[in-house]
A and B are shown apart, each in its own frame.
Chain A
């Protein structure tokens, strides 16, 4: 029984990281109907930033977070203003290949600069510490704190989007960019904002992940695949959907992982497949 509870709690903790990674993807998709294939690479850059802050200036991964967030925001804005904005003039397929190209570019640039080695952050405030939950479940602090930060990030982003003027303008653009332009909302600025939030949140996820995951130029691949499933499962463009879908996927992954580790992602994608057959708009489909 304790074994089972362990798997569920660690699934929820990991799932909250999946949610945070998917958050930016779903916002960018929601506002612009563009799939950012380079999203995993944004995550990777966030991880490297945290890593180098740690190695070069001895910053604990927790305090490196602002740098990872800033790097993510800059990367998002640069991608939008230097590439995506021009892709919008082309057909859908150009947008698809455009961000795919961006993915390859960032990944291999990282490989060129930092090499293929696996790196890890070996010392940190959270590492090797754990706490007991009701004397049954052991919680690893290096995962508990990132999960809590993820919840806080979701809370802040949802608050901004639902309760501020600029957040409502972002929603209006996502729903009908043309109608929003008749209200005086510049679509270009809203798109840039979506990329900034998208990059910032995934950068944050990267900064959190160095507490328990290795870093390589290829690390984004696995996580972006999970993020695609998360966004589709939760409903394209839905923030609430990304949150719950990430947790569901995290739990499925660890539960299956306990019994059949090599098949855990097969089951994750199978679950996703079954759900979209019965509910193509995802769990929390938002637009009509």
Chain B
């Protein structure tokens, strides 16, 4: 479905991502894990059309999307739920969701997506008239994901959804991500929370200073020495 080939990205002359390749297949939940500054968000923003590649290409469902802008990427079927949620805080929960469905013109479809999001996160429905900025951290993250789902994505990219949440909420949130996958959504998840992200993933990639140092299925990676040593302190 999504395929990155030898992607290099630099900020000015500083290389941040150095020739990485990976792929996501239909219905998969893929986790990219790595420490702060490993280049995770940079990769996500490049796929989302925000950053230019220095080299390499990005393919989505057989089409080259390397040079598309962010609004065009959404129309291709890739939604990016950015780091730090980036909600429209003075607007209500429901308005945020409506803006998420900006590319959809069919009112019935928007209504259907809204029901889907409310079904997934009932708490959002209770607070739909509330300003997004007044929600708790966990609810805000649910809203950010819900807003991403409103565009009917074929691929949902989640950038550090667990950031700033307390452990019990992290588990709850990642369970929701898992549920989404079970409903058939293809998901690319980027996380610092290595253990939990790999537990729910079909496959994972471990990123270090802009390079993929190892890959494999989620459980294998968790048992591998390289992950244990680098991230889990074992």
Contact = CB atoms under 8 A, between A and B. Distances in A.
A184 B88 contact: no
Given A185-B71, A186-B71, A180 B99 contact: yes
Interface of A: 165, 168-169, 171-172, 175-176, 178-186, 286-288
A288 B132 CA distance: 12
Contacts of B81: 182
A287 B70 contact: no
A183 B90 contact: no
A104 B168 CA distance: 60
**Residue in B71, B86, B91, B151 whose Cβ sees the most chain A Cβ within 10 Å:** B71
Contacts of A288: 89-90, 133
Contacts of A186: 69, 71
Given A180-B99, A182-B80, A184-B151, A172 B75 contact: no
A184 B50 contact: no
Contacts of B49: 181
B79 interface: yes
Nearest to A183: B102
Contact of A176 (B50, B86, B95, B151): B86
B156 to A, nearest CB: 12
A175 B96 CA distance: 12
Given A169-B102, A176-B86, A183-B103, 5 more contacts: A175-B90, A182-B48, A182-B82, A185-B71, A186-B69
Contacts of A169: 99, 102
B88 A172 contact: yes
Contacts of B91: 168, 171-172, 175
A165 B101 CA distance: 10
Contacts of A183: 74, 99-100, 102-103, 147, 151
Interface of B: 48-50, 69-71, 74-75, 79-82, 86-91, 95, 98-100, 102-103, 133, 147, 151
A178 to B, nearest CB: 7
Nearest to A287: B90
The interface centre, meaning the residue of A176, A179, A185 with most chain B CB atoms within 10 A of its CB, is A179
A189 to B, nearest CB: 9
A100 B89 CA distance: 33
B100 to A, nearest CB: 6
Contacts of A172: 88, 91, 99, 102
A186 B72 CA distance: 9
Contacts of B75: 184
A181 B99 contact: no
Top-7 shortest CB links A-B: A179-B86, A184-B74, A184-B103, A181-B70, A184-B71, A175-B88, A183-B102
A185 B72 CA distance: 9
B98 A168 contact: yes
B118 to A, nearest CB: 19
26 contacts: A165-B102, A168-B99, A169-B102, A172-B99, A172-B102, A175-B89, A175-B91, A176-B86, A176-B88, A178-B86, A179-B86, A181-B50, A182-B74, A182-B80, A182-B81, A182-B86, A183-B100, A183-B103, A183-B147, A184-B103, A184-B151, A185-B71, A185-B99, A286-B90, A287-B90, A288-B90
A176 B99 CA distance: 12
A288 B79 CA distance: 26
Contacts of B98: 165, 168
A172 B101 CA distance: 12
B159 to A, nearest CB: 10
A180 B71 CA distance: 9
Nearest to A176: B86
B42 to A, nearest CB: 14
A185 B70 CA distance: 9
A165 B95 CA distance: 10
B90 A182 contact: no
A98 B53 CA distance: 31
Contacts of B90: 175, 286-288
B79 A182 contact: yes
A30 B79 CA distance: 26
Contacts of A178: 50, 70, 82, 86
A89 to B, nearest CB: 15
Contacts of B71: 181, 184-186
Nearest to B74: A184
A179 B102 contact: no
A180 B74 CA distance: 11
